[in-house]
Every structure is written in C-alpha cells, then in structure tokens.
Chains A and B, each alone.
Chain A
Amino acid sequence: MNMVLQSIFSAEFVYSILRMATPLILAAMAALLTKKAGVMCIAFESIMLFAALGGVVGSAFMHSALLGVLSGIFCGVIVAFIFAYFVLILNANTVLTGLALNTLGSGGTVFALYVICGDKGTSTSLSSLTVPNVSIPLVEKIPLLGSIVSGHNIMTYAALLSVILVYIFINKTALGLRIRSIGENPQAAESVGIKVVRTRFIAIVLAGVLASMGGVYMSMGYLPFFTRDMVAGRGFMAIAAQNLGGGMVVPTMLSAILFGAAEALPNVMQSLRLPAETMQMLPYIVTITALFFVGGTHKGEGKRHKK
C-alpha cells in the first residue's frame, strides 16, 4: 500500500495523468462544442478511430509527422461531416446516426487496416511517425514542476491550448454566442436571423477537428502505431466529462483530467497484484460513479410531471 501511495504522490504519476488525459480533454472540448450547439453527438469514438488510423497511414506514406496529423484530422472531420449531414440536412435521428458511425468506425478501421498493411490487429508493419515530445526550456529545470509540466507530447500542449481557445471561442466571440443561443432556444435564434443549421454544421465540424486531434494522439503519441479499437470508449468518456463539467469549459477539462487519472492509476497500482482486468475497469467505474453524482443536479425535461 505504501508503495502505491508513494507512486501516486510522485511527479511521474502526475505526468502520466496529463498523458492519459490528453485525448480525453480534446474530445471533451469537442463534446462541449456540440452540446452548446444543441446537438447530441455520440460519434466521437468513430471520429477518433478514423483520425488515429488516418494519422498513422498519412505519416507513413508522406513521411511527415505533420502531414500525418493533418491527414488524421482530415479523416476525422469527414466522419463529423457525415454525421452533420445526416443529422442536420437529412434530419436523421442523432443517436442512431452516432451509433451507426461508431459501429462503422470499429469495423471500417480494421478493414482499412487490413487492406493497407495486411494485418487486422495493429499497424506495426507501417513505418509511421510520431509526434515528438518537447521540453520547455527553463521550466524543465524547475524541480518537481519541471518534470510534471515539461517533456510532454506536442499534442498534450495542444490539448491544453484547445481548452483556452474553446473558452474564448464560446464565451468571447460572436459565433460562440450564436452557438450558445441555438443550443438553448433555436426558435429565438432563428427569429433574429441566425441560420440554425449552418451554425450547427460549423460547430460539429469544429468539434470534429478537436476530437480528431485526440484520435491522432492515440496512434502518434500515446502509442506509436494503430491498434484496433484503440480509442476504447474515450469518445464516450469525453461526453461524460462534458456532462460532469456541467457544460462549462474549465470544469469539463478538470473532469477529463479526473478520468485521465483513473486511466493512469492502474499502472501505479500494479504492485497491489490485483488482476489487470479489474484495474482496467477503473476509468469506467469512475465515469459511471461521476455520472451518478452529477445526474441529479441537471434540470431534466422529463421532470414536468413529477410531483
């Protein structure tokens, strides 16, 4: 037990939380954008998976990590685009569309993987590149803090930056104001000339970019290759983080970090000799526990008839 506590209160553990939280923060920011626009998007799993594969394949064929990241984002945005088209233009059910895309993501990436590298499990046969880690000069020299904050993957810094950008976008720009208004009262927004469908489309595509970055990180930072279903529910945990954060940017980020901690914890608790499977359940147990506590605090529509 002592060993576990020691490892929890260590710089390496805090460092690994940020590492684990990176894709969650990015996807949670994406979930926040769609939520603000009043769209229940659950397609992040699929967006992230396609982006992860797209990044690996792009970097392998174009021999550039940057082009790999861009092609990953491109793939993810296409999925977001399909989602938006079905939901906004064809008026398909949002949850069904999301489910269909997620199922497609799970099967489609394996299919594409097999076609490209003849393997149904991982992309290790491709010589794909990774996004490098960077050390922050000066900061890295600060004891303790340096070893937590410095030396992360570029995508981790991008994730933290995205929190600031999303905050500014939603709260300080005209488009953000419009997105908030269509999410809350689309009729009111429409009555003053805001194009609801177009604005929602923009929000979904922007969310697609953010979630795709989270996906790319999975295969070009967290791991140096793609494996099947490597997103492993992170798209859903992001939605949970967004809920837990009550639709606010900073609490959403903190929730994503909490879930990140739940993912990092199993590594340091190996010394307890619990079965690995038990430890792997932890993030999901934390998620559902968190939702239990947050559930009662939101105003639900179904409560009109409750006495």
Chain B
Amino acid sequence: MVNNEYILSMENITKVYSNGFVANKNVNFSVKKGEIHALVGENGAGKSTLMKILFGHEQPEEGKIFYKGEEIHIANPLAALDYGIGMVHQHFMLVPSLTVAENMVLGMEPKKGVLFDYKTAVERTREISEKYNLLVDPEAKVEDLPVGFKQKVEILKVLFRGVEVLILDEPTAVLTPQETKELFTELLNLKKNGYTVIFISHKLNEIKEICDRLTVLRNGKVTGIADVSDITEQEISNKMVGRNVMLNIEKEKAKPGSSVLQVKHLSYTDMHGKQVVKDISFSVRKGEILGVAGVEGNGQREISEMITGLLSGQTGEILVDGKALSGASIRDIRLSGVAHISEDRMTYGSVGDASIEENMISERYYKKEFNRNGLLDFKRIKECVNQLIQNYGIKCDNKDAQVRTLSGGNIQKVVVAREFSSNPKVIIANQPTRGIDVGASEFIRKKLVSLRDEGVGVLLISADLTEVIETSDSIIVMNNGEIAAYFEDASKVDETILGEYMLGLKRQSKEEAGGAYYAE
C-alpha cells in the first residue's frame, strides 16, 4: 500500500524491548507533505519509541517504513539524516563551548587549504538563519544562549543538513511561554516553506494551535488519527487516557486526622529560569493518601524532591508535623518522619552494586540499635534484614545478593521495605509502581493502604491515573506547575475528569483548588 499523498508512512510497526515490554503494537503512522502532524500520548504510550525507530535509534521487530513512496531501512541516525529525516531532541545535541556557527557546520566543515574556514561557516549560518527567520548570532557561544535559542540552533542544524521532515520531541517542555510563541511562528514559517513537521506533545492547546493532523497513541497502539479541526480537545483527551485495567483495591473510607505534611506557597525556578512549581499549597493528613495526578514534567518531581531535600533553592514552606524543614539536611528530614520512594529507583532509591542488606540499612546503620562498641552489630542487622525480606516477599537467594541482579519489582520491594519500615509519619511515593510487574505493584499499593490505616500520611505521585484514582483518598491534579484541581473524594472522579484538568482543558477556581490545604 503505497500512498503518494504521504511523504512518510510507517506501517504495522511492532517493537518489543528485550525485557518483554511491548512499546509499539501494529502502529500505523502517516504524515502528509507540508503538514504539522502531532503525535500525542501519555508518558509511556510509545511515542518516543516510534520516533526512535523513525530516526534509526531502534529497529522494529515488524513493520515497514515508506518515504516518498519507497520502502527504506533506517539503520542509524546518520542514515535518517541522509534520507532527509532529522530530529530535534529534548536534550540538545550541541557542544557548549563552541560558537553557533561551529556547531552548525560540525562534521561538514568548510575548509580553506588545511585550515577550517570559520568565516564561511559564519556566513552560511547567517544565511540559513535569515532564510528561515530563525535569528541567532552565529558567533555567539552556545553556552551563553538561553534555552529557546539553543533550540533554534538545533532546528537550524537539522535544516542545514538538508532535512525535509523534522521531528520535534516535546519542544515546548523546556520553553517559557514567550519562547513557545516564537517557536510556533517559526514552525508555521517552515510549514509555509514546504517542510513537514512531526510535533510530539501532550499539550492539547498547543496541538490545537499549530497542528494540522494528529495521531494518538495509548499503550503502544494507535487510538485515533484525525484532522485537528475535526476533533475536540475533549475527544483527544478521551483517546489519550482511558482505563487500562481494574485494580480493585479493597479499602475502607479514610478517616483523615490532622495535617502531617503541609506545603505552603511553594515555588521553584529551575536553572534555565523557568518556574516549574508555582506557588502551590496542600496538606497531607494523617491516615490519608493524597494522590497527585498529572502529565510528567508539570512540577511533580520537583515537589517530591523539595520535600525530601534532594532539591533546594525553593521559596515557600514545608512543614512536617508542624515543624519547618527549611535548611534541614536529608537525614534530619528523614528523622522527622519523611520516607521517600524515588521515581528513579536505580539512582536515588538503591545502590545497584550493593547487597540487599546494605541497601536496607543504608538509612539506619548509624542508629544505636545497629551498633555495638563502635562497630556495626551484624547480628541485629541480619535479623532485621531477613525479617524485612520475609515480610515483603523479596525473591532473592539471600540478603547478600546484589540489588542490581534482582528484577525491577524486587528492587522496588527492597526500597519499599526500607522506607516503610522506618516508622514514617509521611511517605512520599513518587511513581512507586512504575515499570514493575503486576504482583509487586499490587503488593505496594496494598502496603500503602495498610500504612494509611495505621495513620501514616501518603503523598502518591503517579502518572498511572488508574492507580491514582483507586489508591488515593483525595486527589490533586498538577498542570503547568500549579494545582489545577483538588478532589476531596477520589471515588467521585474518573480518568476523563482528571484528564481534562491534567491537559489544561479545565481549571478549578483558586478557592476550589485551595481546598487541598488544611491549616490543621
């Protein structure tokens, strides 16, 4: 099936990763020449995998790629560039200490005799920059440029290499609103010049603003292809989120007590000068699971890292049990009763090369009960660790097994066992079940509920909406660094409602969203 209307089409793409994860299943994706085509989907829906296949980073198990009517095989990114397919990554592929012009011509430098012809490089850069109205100073050093300009350089670099199809991977994620506006003007200008743009995003208003058509992915499958003008944001949202499985968590209604974690007017500006958390206030009460829903990158990670002390430099207040945490060390924060399941279990959650035992005692080894005469009391430690392994059903040879050798689910259980057994008052659980098997996920959710019943406050941050809805008692929804909504009773919401707030279609009033904060 070769259709000449399309400059590029990917047919029946199936990609299974070596760990058995099916990232794309029979995906059909076609792009017309000269359009801006949105590729939409939640995190983990398979957008990135599909684009990696198109750009030659990954090879599909099945499926064909047609470009300009001919079947092509893209072995690596250079081959993709040769065909005329270029990608602007989220993390820029630029050399900071070189100038814009030097970055531009890298790999295909103009020469004058034996020397590099810098003048010509600058001239060519200026030419192409003016031609596409992407104005940057060719002689500026890349490291001195703001993010928006770095992105322009990236786009120019791709254009300079004669690309006709541009893939932009969540280009607005790092931009300020003004920069985003500028980018859109530039993209529309490129479209006018006959370029084809694939725009990866989950920001519906942006898609509505500049895209012509869209393809929606969910769980590795295409759930919709449409002209943007024919589809409402509501419909896109419904196609993106949707119930995957029923979790059936048995729990009684929460009986929340007083606030154990209070966050007041918290704001955070990242190193690029972008405000990622904007004056948010909420409370986690004793005996309550507060879910945080939201598309990743809307400030959730920063919130969890600020509470647990990994990130500093914020304004606002964080109180645990009424005591302010400002200036406290991570150990102080832990001692005040905060437990943390990090979203990145191999970097912050565990030490891969260390044993289960070492990982489990890593936050308590210094305590009196594990020391005798100035040395570690390994008898006590062994007892404690073996008990935890048993209680949490960690599948391993013994306590000395390297954590790296365990399965994802068991690694997470090691983390969870340590954090849950530290007598926490409040647990910050950031993506606690990401990428782990169903059994371990269920176990962790049940544990969270039983700790809640014992009076622990839980902040559950998760990109898995089903998990948020079924495990939480109350829910806040994050959008663009702000609390877009607060639902006191999680059982009264569903994915569709949350989706609307997550994607910025709706927003509660300040008063309604302010209900998330309890003074007591």
Contacts and interface: CB of A to CB of B under 8 A. Distances in A.
Given A180-B95, A185-B93, A185-B96, A192 B115 contact: no
Given A176-B116, A191-B77, A307-B312, A184 B106 contact: no
B114 interface: yes
Contacts of A99: none
Given A180-B98, A184-B97, A189 B107 contact: yes
Interface string B107-145: 111010011101000000000000000000000000000
Considering the complex of A and B, which 3 residue pairs feature the smallest CB-CB distances, nearest first? A192-B107, A174-B109, A188-B93
A191 B93 contact: yes
Interface in B72-124: 77-78, 81, 92-98, 102-103, 106-109, 111, 114-116, 118
A187 interface: yes
Contacts of B115: 168, 172-173
A184 B312 contact: no
Contacts of B102: 177
B312 A188 contact: no
Q: Which of A168, A173, A176, A187 has the most CB of B within 10 A?
A: A173
Contact of B94 (A172, A185, A307): A185
A181 interface: yes
A192 B106 contact: yes
Nearest to A174: B109
Contacts, number: 58
A177 B96 contact: no
Contact of A188 (B78, B81, B94, B109): B94
Contact of B116 (A172, A184, A191, A193): A172
Nearest to A171: B116
A178 interface: yes
Residue of B95, B108, B114, B115 contacting most chain A CB atoms (<10 Å): B95
Contacts of B98: 177, 180-181, 184
B116 A185 contact: no
A194 interface: yes
Contacts of A176: 116
Nearest to B96: A184
B116 A173 contact: yes
Given A177-B102, A185-B93, A185-B95, 8 more contacts: A172-B116, A174-B111, A176-B116, A178-B107, A184-B95, A184-B97, A191-B77, A193-B107
13 contacts: A172-B118, A173-B114, A177-B102, A178-B109, A181-B98, A185-B93, A188-B93, A188-B103, A188-B106, A192-B93, A192-B106, A192-B161, A193-B107
Contacts of A173: 114-116
A298 B342 CA distance: 31
Secondary structure class of chain A's binding surface, majority of residues = helix
A180 B99 CA distance: 12
A177 B109 contact: yes
Nearest to A188: B93
A62 to B, nearest CB: 32
A185 B96 CA distance: 8
B95 A189 contact: yes
A189 B107 CA distance: 7
Nearest to A186: B95
B473 to A, nearest CB: 34
Residue from the set A177, A181, A188 with the largest chain B CB neighbour count within 10 Å? A188
Nearest to A191: B93
Contacts of A184: 95-98
Contacts of A192: 93, 106-108, 157, 161
Contacts of A168: 115
A192 B157 CA distance: 9
Query: Which among B98, B116, B157 has the highest number of chain A CB atoms within 10 Å?
Result: B116
Interface in A182-215: 184-185, 187-189, 191-194
Contacts of B94: 185, 188
B312 A177 contact: no
A56 to B, nearest CB: 34
Nearest to B114: A173
B84 to A, nearest CB: 15
Contacts of B114: 173
